[in-house]
Structure formats: C-alpha cells, structure tokens
Amino acid sequence: MSLSGASLLAILGLLAALYVLLVLRRNRRLVRPPILGFDGSPIPAREFRFSDGETVDYVDLRPSEAGDEGEAQSSFTILFIPGADGMKETFRYQVPALARRHRVICASLRRRLSSGHTLDRLVDDVGELAASSGARRVLLVGQSFGGSVAMRFAVRWPEKVAGLVLVNTLARIGYDHVGLNRTLLAPVARFTTRYFPTRAARSLARMWSRLEVWIYDDSPGSERVVDYALWTGTRTVPSSESNARVTLLKKMDLRGQLPFIEAATLVIKGPRDHYVPPAWSHEIVALIPGATYVEVAGTGHCSHLSMPGSFNRILEHWLTEVGE
C-alpha cells in the first residue's frame, strides 16, 4: 500500500512540528553560564520589580565583596545594559573585573513589551533600577541595542550620568549597509544556531564566524561568541522578545539628540562588525561632543565576548583617564 503525496506531506509536516517542539523544549531547559564572583562561584541573582509589575533578574556586586583584594569604590555605579537578546549574562566577563573598584549592577531587560511601549519604557526601567539601588550617578555601559537605551537615558537625565560606554552601538535601524549575501545568510545563521542539534549548530557557527555573518566574527576569540550564541544568547531568548525590542528602535532615530549628550563618552568598536558597521560608530562619535573612539582589534559585534581581556583593559584605562 503506497502513500499518496498528500499523506506523505502530512507525515513530514507532523515530524517537522515534533522536531520543532523538541528543540524548543531543549532551548527552554538550557542553563546559561552564570556570572562568577571574585572567588569563582556564581553570583546569586536578585529580582527587581518595576513600577508596572514586570520583573527582571539582576546582580549587584560591590568592591568590598572582593575581600582583601577589593579597592576603594569610585564615586559612581557602573550599570550594564545588554543588547536586544536582553540577558545579563552577556557581561559575564566584565562584571567581576570591574567590580574590584566599582559597584556594578547588571540586569536583564524586561521580557514583555506591549504595543503601546516605546524605547523610553526601557529607559525608565534603567532609571527605576538605578534609583532603587541608591546610585546617585551611573556610568552606563550599553552593548548594541543597550547602547541606544543608554544614549536616550543620557539625553533625558544628564545629571544622573557619570559617563557612557557604547559598545558596537547603533543610533538608528537601517539595512543599506547589508549586502545581498549577508542579507540572505544572517537569517540562516540565526535559524541554524537556534534550531539545529548542538554539534551541527557549532560546526555551522564556526563557518559563520569565518564568513563573518550576523554576530559572528573571525577573531582569535570567536569560539567564545559561538558558545555565547549556543548557551547564552539566541537559544535561550525567544525571537519574539528580541524582535520586540528592536522594533522600539525602528520607531526612532536618535542621531538628532546626540549633540545634547553632556557625559564623557567612550565608543568601543569591533572593526569586523558587519551587523552594526563601523561607519555608524564613527557617526555617533562625530555627533556626541568630545566622544572617544577605540577599536578592539580583530573583533566583530561581540567585542566584549570575543576578546574580553582587551576590552576590559580599554574600558579600565578610559575610566582612569576621565577620572573616577
């Protein structure tokens, strides 16, 4: 007894649906590598509730918790703002390094956004978190989309900002810079990373790194970006959440506001970033008065992950130069 074409398609459709369900179940069960403290043990996450009832997880680390190695705390608190994926663990290499001299707060972005929300909802979230912590002035470190939130915060509340660090950040959404190959390959790279078996996804991610597609790059630390995508980023965050955050920025063009930023600003760039091109970072530097531009050699969109040692040294040196 042979199967009809329609029956075969129905069976294949059921198998595909079952596979997707199993993959989504796998992704929901993934445990992100934690942010580690000074002694190498995971930093316990806390929960913060915003004024509208939404909650996020965050860590709060102070120099005094470094024990004998802790140094005098600076006059401001460093507050990290992650990119569109929104998870605090993206800064797992920066939090313990900077917390030896500074109080450091790192929170995930809210998961749910309504149709009435704008980018300022996330800006307000940063303000509420900072106020609740008792921090009078914050130095904001924003990666990619997080840098957009940081710039908007600095425009709205200049008196609360001790400085800005913008990491592979964008002031507006645009696709003119994306060639046909990357336009076609980036969605494929995202799909294989999210839905393929881990071994196959890792092999393909290494190929995407060589081709420098999406967030991947061919830097010496590219394997850390692969690990991030497989265990921290894309797989653990539903695409609907990250897309909703990016949509907020699609409604705005921050470039006209940047000349009003008063805070000392460092723009850190991965020169191999094809996702958010270097030209956009140069544009931000030209618009923010007195902004400084520094590249993390050989890196792409995730400089803080692929070369964390170089990244941290650049940031710590700048903090020393601008004064603490």
Domains of the chain, by residue range, sit at 46-175+239-322, 180-235
Q: How far is CA 67 from CA 17, 35, 132, 187, 243, in A?
A: 52, 18, 25, 46, 41
What φ, ψ does residue 8 adopt, rounded to 5°? -65, -40
CA 293 to chain centre: 19
Taking only the tens of pLDDT, the chain with its 324 residues reads 456 777 788 888 888 888 878 888 888 888 899 999 888 899 999 999 999 999 999 999 998 665 544 444 578 999 999 999 999 999 999 999 999 999 999 999 999 999 899 999 999 999 999 999 999 899 999 999 999 999 999 999 999 999 999 999 999 987 665 555 566 788 899 999 999 999 999 999 999 999 999 999 999 999 999 999 999 988 999 889 999 999 999 989 999 999 999 999 999 999 999 889 999 999 999 999 999 999 999 999 999 999 999 999 999 999 988 765
* CATH architecture, domain 46-175+239-322: 3-Layer(aba) Sandwich (3.40)
Find the helix packing angle between 5-29 and 180-195, rounded to 10°. Answer: 80
Q: Which residues contact 90 (CB under 8 A, 6 or more apart)?
A: 82, 83, 143, 228, 232, 233, 304, 305
